[in-house]
Every structure is written in C-alpha cells, then in structure tokens.
A and B are shown apart, each in its own frame.
Chain A
Amino acid sequence: MTILPVPLSTLQPGEKSKVIQLDVKGLLRRRILDLGIVPGTVLTCIGKAPAGDPIAYLVRDTVIALRSEDASLIYIDSAAR
C-alpha cells in the first residue's frame, strides 16, 4: 500500500493519523518539533473552532491548537485515519 500524504488540516474531528512529513520552515518548525510533532507522531483531531480555525489536536497526551494555515504544512498519512 502506498502512503499518500495529505495536509493535517484535512483531518476531521475524531479522526486520527500519523505524521509523515513537515514542510514548516524556520522557527515555527523548531516550535512544532519541540511540541513533539515529528514524523511518526500520531495526532488526533479533537475539535475545530467555529470558524474552522484554529484546530485542536491531541499530541502525546497534550492538547495543542494549530492555525489551519500551519496545519496545512504538516502532512499525514491518508490511509491511516
């Protein structure tokens, strides 16, 4: 089965997937890595703000909110949902 990377922002509340790749650059990349989001990390989408932005994710037992603009630069495995 081939892995198809899709942006994290497409993950719907309740769905779960694995990070494949980070296209985030610079300081934000560092920050995201520090929060424990690295390739292989399992993320669960737990809710969206009324306007769809920001989005809350469960990462390593911690809830983290990301802007959808930033979440769209993190790629997840579409098959693993």
Chain B
Amino acid sequence: MELKIGDRSNALKDHGRVMREHFGIRTTGEQYVIALAGNPNVGKSTVFNALTGLHQHTGNWPGKTVDNAQGTYTYRNKSFLLVDLPGTYSLLAHSVEEEIARDFICFGHPDATIVVLDATSLERNLNLALQVMEISSKVIVCVNLIDEARKKKLSINFIELQKELGVPIVPTAARNGEGLQELQNAVYTMAVEKKKTRPKQVVYSEEVERAICTLLPKLEKLDLARVVNPKWLALRLLDSDISFIETIGRYAATQNQKIVAMPQQGSKITL
C-alpha cells in the first residue's frame, strides 16, 4: 500500500477512476461523469440522445445482459460523459436493472445524477427521485415531457417543487430540445462548480430513526460514508438488504488496499 494519510483527495479521485472502470466506463483526463436515471418511458433516452447526439457508444454492463449507453458532450469547454442507466421504478427491489442503477449511483462516483421524471405522472415518478436523493446529494431533477403535460392542461409549480425537494429542477421537453440548455447549465453548476444542494430527506418513524442514530456513528467512520450517504447505508442494513451488503463486500474487496481500509482510524468494513 503506497498511499499516505495526507493523500486522501487524490486517493478518492483514484478510487473514482478504479470504480468507474469496474463499470466499464473510462474517462479521459478532465471528464465529468453524469449518470442519467429515471422510470421507464419518461424519455430518458431522448434526453440522452439530445445531449450527446452521435457521440455515443452502446454495449452491455460488464457481466450483465443489460444495455449500457454512454455518450459525451461538451459544454463551456468542459467534457461530460453521460451514462444512461436502465429505467427503473425504484432502487430497492433487486431486479438486475435496479441493481445496476443503484450500484452505479453508489459506487460509480458520478459528478452529478440527473433523475428524469415524467411531468404527466409526477406522483409516481417522485418515488425514484427521493430514493436517489437519499443516496447522493448531487442530484438534478429533470421534469421531462412538459409538452405532454401542457397538452393535458397540467400546470406544475417548479419553483415550489424545487423548494420542496431542495435540488435543482429543470423542466424539459427533450423531444423539441426545450430546456436542454438549462439542463446542461445545471449539470455544469453541480459537476464543475461543485455547487452544494440540500436534498430533502425522508423522515422515518421514530423507531427507525432511533435505530439509524445507533448505527450512524459507526458508519460515518467508514470511508464509504464519504461517497454514499451513511443514513442510507444504515437503512439498507436495517432492511437486511442482503444483495446490497454483498455488493459492499465485493466493492470493499476490490478497493480494500486503496480506500476502505485506509490508514485513517483503522476503519474497515466488517460485515
């Protein structure tokens, strides 16, 4: 192990690179990685295509028969790598697609995650947005299909929604290119300028919150907690989410020497 204690930010960067390669994603130099999540049929791929144009390539997620599309675009002289995640309703129900989406948001170190929502059925779509916001604070909510919503005479109060959720909200109609400039701008602000957000967190019953509080001090010591929200880790443990615990174990193993067992306080995952 060559890492010095004072070398943490570099180590984190390195960690990010290694993890991305694990997902079959290679970045070149100063490239920002942006994940694109959303329910099925919300126009996620339309957003993806509208942003990346022909600069994309498709394949599979390593070891999984699930399509993986990546594309690049340049905005204000910065290069962004957009990763189209499989469409899911949730990140908790263990289909292969959901595991890929979850693992990438947790361990793939995206510099921002765009959650695409269907403006015509926000109520159902917000479930996924809240779940992603529990994992990461680097979330941008893209409310797509606003042209459809207009046709259905739905009006959405985006200012109030943004206040309520605590993350940037961008209304788009990707089909006509509407709002894409604003979306790129929001991504830039988050990924490049590192603007912080305060995503609304779900408050659970008193019993659950108490249990989380018991676990938190231990989880916060883990290096993993700098990448994944420790409260979310606590919830998965309480959920006895075996598949996720196994995933942590697997990632810890690939990272062991590099980050999970970094010299600081001798913290180490023992699950």
Q: List chain A residues, Cβ under 8 A from B92.
A: 30, 34
For residue B89, CB closer than 8 A to chain A, the reply is yes
Q: List chain A residues, Cβ under 8 A from B121.
A: 60-62
For residue B70, CB closer than 8 A to chain A, the reply is no
For residue B94, CB closer than 8 A to chain A, the reply is yes
CA distance A36 to B130 in the complex (A): 13
CB pair A34 B120 closer than 8 Å: no
Q: List chain B residues, Cβ under 8 A from A59.
A: 124
CB pair A34 B93 closer than 8 Å: yes
Q: Which residue of the partner chain, among A30, A36, A61, contacts B93 with CB atoms under 8 Å?
A: A30
Question: Which of the four size classes fits the interface of chain B?
Answer: 10 to 19
- State how many residues of chain A have any CB contact under 8 Å with chain B: 10
CB pair B127 A36 closer than 8 Å: yes
For residue A35, CB closer than 8 A to chain B, the reply is yes
Q: Which residue of the partner chain, among B90, B93, B94, B124, contacts A62 with CB atoms under 8 Å?
A: B124
Q: Could you give, for residues 119-148 of chain B, a 1 whenever the CB lies within 8 Å of some chain A CB and a 0 otherwise?
A: 011011001000000000000000000000
CA distance A27 to B99 in the complex (A): 13
For residue A31, CB closer than 8 A to chain B, the reply is yes
Q: Could you give, for residues 69-112 of chain B, a 1 whenever the CB lies within 8 Å of some chain A CB and a 0 otherwise?
A: 00000000000000000000110111000000000000000000
Q: Could you give, for residues 54-66 of chain A, a 1 whenever the CB lies within 8 Å of some chain B CB and a 0 otherwise?
A: 0000011110000
CB pair B123 A60 closer than 8 Å: yes
Q: Could you give, for residues 4-41 of chain B, a 1 whenever the CB lies within 8 Å of some chain A CB and a 0 otherwise?
A: 00000000000000000000000000000000000000
Q: Which residue of the partner chain, among B89, B94, B124, contacts A27 with CB atoms under 8 Å?
A: B94
- Give residues in A with beta carbon < 8 Å to B: 27, 30-31, 34-36, 59-62
- Give residues in B with beta carbon < 8 Å to A: 89-90, 92-94, 120-121, 123-124, 127
